[in-house]
Chains A and B, each alone.
Chain A
């Protein structure tokens, strides 16, 4: 019964969170964003006290049910492990806790966060890792299916579906997502919760807390006949039948063991203060090896002009835009400042998945690795859109209103004289000024040649939305581009 409840709740969370990462229309977020808000690490970085208290309270009461229900990375691994169990029954056995590894990973993780190397730290953040995996690997497939439906809809003159462009937003992050996917899947297939009990920093923190949880798994040594069915089915490898103890720091309260016991010797019950045995053994640690490979892999990745017209028709070839070199990356309005943003963002890619304009993409810069930044080759940050702030679970991008957005200066436009069309080809242009939502660009005569009009930018009024960069006819590098503002000023 308890297992059933856990499975149902876990499935709901997994499905809903996955759906949120797949959905590119932004409709699901309105209903489901609280699920992302409950995620522990984003809540801690974003100082979401309510969410933190809820998770802590749940853990102190019921053990690590967070890991079994709320965390999508956890439930994803459970799903893989569940399928693996169909092929090989009773495949687990007890292994000793690798305390040194767990705490050193946690220690390094915290230090990285403190020194501001979030980009590396968040590689192992569970919820974000899962988000990256879905956004990078599954969302393209989801959009692909959507595009097929859109084609069908077009055939029937229906507007129920519309096509959405699919592109790899950042190759290194895409590779990280593939590695994450392989790591999660392989580890879960072979060893159940290996990841969660050796590497996951959230698992370590909550594991430590759950030692003190009110409800825990208990073995009644008197009834136990040492058949080891529970131990062989414990995906956390935390049941030791030799000592009749359960390592509650690794137990994720999945309740799988309860149903396995034919003698009613194992229970999920309130803690009694009697036992606190520590088993001692020196078995070779399979999960340690698996985990070391993972760390190694993860470490490796973290290093990681108008033609003359004589005939009619046809379309001129349009070169794709390229990303200009920016001194300061442009962060979305609502992220306050680069430093505030970098310290909170866990790189979960929810905003990237939700951005309807193809603007947000994960950074490939080491210090801010995988955290979103703006780019304007596929579109620009539209004045009516405030999606990223709405979905961010970590408070790295604060929710803002459309009105607020019209006064937040996330960046400023920079003119590249040598690229500019009127200057270069003598063609009259002005598309940047024409489309600037804040009217920050004025076309003025060039001092030494008054016939040529060039854009002049009022940086005080510029919002850094990228309309000018996106709509500039010069390709591949626009003649006007956006530089980020370190601190997002208010107009």
Chain B
């Protein structure tokens, strides 16, 4: 039985971790994810978890400890944000290429500069090519649910890749909201146990983890890793289907919100999707054919699925909460254009970079944006810029 509760995104994720009771957690505090290791530390002191909690002197060491633990065949987790994730950068690639199913609670925060503690996706977007599965959460409930699913995805024999479960710093991590918490036993049973067939400390079945590889082998290993990311798509959906059967809340690679007959659409991630949904509701009441796609799984990127979902839309705004400094917009904008090109041509598309450093995005901002999209729908594509920024002072 699920129970009604209210808590912040950080507390929700910490409770999922308590229920999963992983073997090892190694973490270093950084705002706004600090509360997660704080809760874990309290759970440990109270005897609620059997986790080995490793306090380290940096995030580089946190991920190194997770890699060592995971290679030895146990469940390893961490939590971080912003500069902490950046300090892990080298090890993120090591974890993924060593095929270690580590799970990270990522609380999105702006990367410097200027130094800022509020939300932005520049931290996890910077790690988008590191080989980690990335799942984004709109609210505390989704952060909790995604965390309960994370290990089953990461540890699936077809996948064996690390997973980061992302939520927006402060907006989700520090806001108290209603949430349904599952029973400890049911949550633990869903997450299951981890008993890998091979690991570093098994004398019966020895393997090498992270050795030097010469050119004749590197490409094969990278292709195997890439194929695992491709297979992860199905595993993510299978785990979500089992989650829905068990707990009643359904998830896909993305959520289509009021997309039936939608002519104007936003593609957006995380907490701002909730605010934009309110704008969609208001516009639908006025007869505007507005819809929204909320991307949940950024890695693996569901290109074909998005092209199919967006086919028929007249104008689309792809919302990036990070500035990629590509001079052509943000990372999500680039990937969505790739997904649509040749598969769903003719959609008048603009990439909007918004919400940087926690800049607030209001319902009215999204309503106005749909108004702009209505204008773009009638324009020649050549007259539409690749991208623009929204919400900054001039």
Q: Do A and B come from one complex?
A: no
Residues of A within 8 A of B (CB): none
Residues of B within 8 A of A (CB): none
